[in-house]
Structure formats: structure tokens, C-alpha cells
Structure 1
């Protein structure tokens, strides 16, 4: 028996709760764009505090700000600001909201996948083709994104 067929699996069944998974891949893509704009804004606010020397290592600044932003917003509500705007949230394999360690691990895996073309493409294809709309980080952690019910 696989983990997904175990009775202890805490995520809603996509066959019986299709409304929880409806349009989630599209909403995740839009949320990602919103989050990228928020991160860009934060990095622009940080630049003057570095006497604009951060321009010389801007990609590293982006990675640092992105990691902090995603980890803290996901740990604080199981969703980034973009995800909240799109009314979706992340859930662990137990069906629970993300804790800080869950958020940090998901963010790290997301950033690694996004750093390389093939895992990025594979993750996008998986989100569009798996029953729960899970990308590579989600499959590795057993997590998924769901439409918020409240």
C-alpha cells in the first residue's frame, strides 16, 4: 500500500472534493506572479539601506528576500500574499496548515526547482496533470495547494 492510499492520508480526495482542487494550478501561477512583484518591491525598498551596493549582488538579494518572504508568509497562514489573494492555501500530507519547518523546506525545494529548467518544467507539468495539482516540492513533501474553504 502506498502512502496516498493509506487511511491516515489527510488530504481531501480529489475525486470526492473536486471543488477544493478546481483551478488551483492557474491560481498558483497568478499567485506566483503577484509574489514576484511583492518580492521585487521589497528588494527595491532594501536597496537604499545598502547604499545601493546590493545592485552588485542583486540576484543574491532577490534569493534572500524571496526565501524570507515565502517562508514567513507560508508559516504565518499556510499561504503567501499572492496565494491569499487567489484564495488558495498549502496543506501538509496530514491535511494541516504549514508550520515554520514545513514552510522553510517547501520554500527551499521550490527555489531549487525554480533554479533549474528541467525541474521547473517537470513541476509545471505535474501541477497540470496530477489529481491533486502537486509540483515536485509538493510530491516530495506530500503537500498540496487547495482552494480555501473559509
Structure 2
């Protein structure tokens, strides 16, 4: 190692920085099919998120019948509990060891920071919150922004400095292409 074992991405070596920043021109395989995979991963995650919410609503409905209608007052908890559940789900899964939700893992995707590091809980939770805010404020048409950049990043990805990549191709990309 020419750098004595130090991390050259932080010391200013631009070739190492570009390789770690997931350059779509040098590593196009990291971005192949990401948008389609992201869509299906989102659907899988919606299913995973909705199952506990539906089970909770069924429990409240049955509890309301048993308590002659008094238990139905608990329905007001469904919205805040769903919001907390979604933030915790995204924070734990995206901020976890795999940097991917269950849907993203099924589709072979993972989230990285701009510099290539794995995600962490706060970044992952903010990623989910900014996604829902941007889609709510700007309509789902805001997602079309990903069609006009080479990293296939959406608005919330750009604001947070994250990128979604294929993790199935990471083994082939780990070694730099050519000699530097």
C-alpha cells in the first residue's frame, strides 16, 4: 500500500474517492435496473409494514366487540402507531447490518452514503421521512427526477447524500477496474 494503510478517500486521493462514491461511469453495473428493483422493493416493504397494522386493527375490532364498543376507542392509536412502526422499520432495516429493508434485500439492493459507507439509524429514518414528505408535497411525479440523473437518485436521496446500488454486483466491483 502506497498510503501506509491509511484511508486515502479521506486524505484527498481523487481516484479512491471516485471509486468509493459509486461512479456510474466507472461502475455502471451498480446502477443497472435499480429503479425497477426499487419499485418492487417498495411494494414488498408496504406489505411487510401493513401486516402488523392490519393485525392490530383486527385485534382492536375484536376487542371492541368483546367490550361492547368501548375498545373501539383504541382506533385512534392506529395512525400514530403506524407512523412510529414505519420509522422504526426503516431505521432498523436500512440502518442495520445490510443497509437494506426486507424488500431491498429481496431485490438485491442496498443504500450507501455518497462516500460508500453503510447507512445508520438516523439517516435511514430521515430517508423514509423525506420520502413520504416529498411524495406528499410534490405528488408522486417527483419520483420522475430519478430518470434524469445517472445514479438514479430520487429527491430524498439527493438531499440526504445517499445512493441505492445493486449489492448483487458488489463482489465484482470490489476490485478496481484497471490499474491506477
Output the TM-score relative to the length of structure 2.
0.70
C-alpha deviation, 1:86, in angstroms: 0.2
Matched, 1:46 2:56: yes
Equivalent position of 1:92 in the other structure:
113
Unaligned 5+ residue runs, structure 2?
A: 1-12, 64-70, 172-180
Return closer, same or farther for 1:56/1:11 CA change in 2, 3 Å cut-off: same
Greater relative contact order (Cα < 8 A, sep 6+):
1
Contact between 2:91 and 2:120, CA under 8 Å: does it hold in 1? no
Contact between 1:93 and 1:142, CA under 8 Å: does it hold in 2? yes
Deviating 4+ runs (over 6 angstroms): none
RMSD: 2.2
C-alpha deviation, 1:115, in angstroms: 2.4
Contact between 2:111 and 2:162, CA under 8 Å: does it hold in 1? yes
Return closer, same or farther for 1:53/1:14 CA change in 2, 3 Å cut-off: farther
Output the TM-score relative to the length of structure 1.
0.83
Equivalent position of 2:37 in the other structure:
27
- Output one character per residue of 1:85-137: Cα deviation in whole Å (capped at 9) or x when no partner: 00000010111110122212212212212323x25322x11222210010111
SS of 1:91's equivalent in the other structure is strand
Please give the alpha-carbon distance, in whole angstroms, between the structure 2 residues aligned to 1:144 and 1:54. 39
Greater shift, 40-49 or 97-106, is seen at 40-49
- Whichever of the two has the greater Rg, that structure is 2
Matched, 1:106 2:127: yes
Please give the alpha-carbon distance, in whole angstroms, between the structure 2 residues aligned to 1:52 and 1:133. 45
Match of 1:131 among 150, 153, 170: 150
Greater shift, 88-97 or 61-70, is seen at 61-70
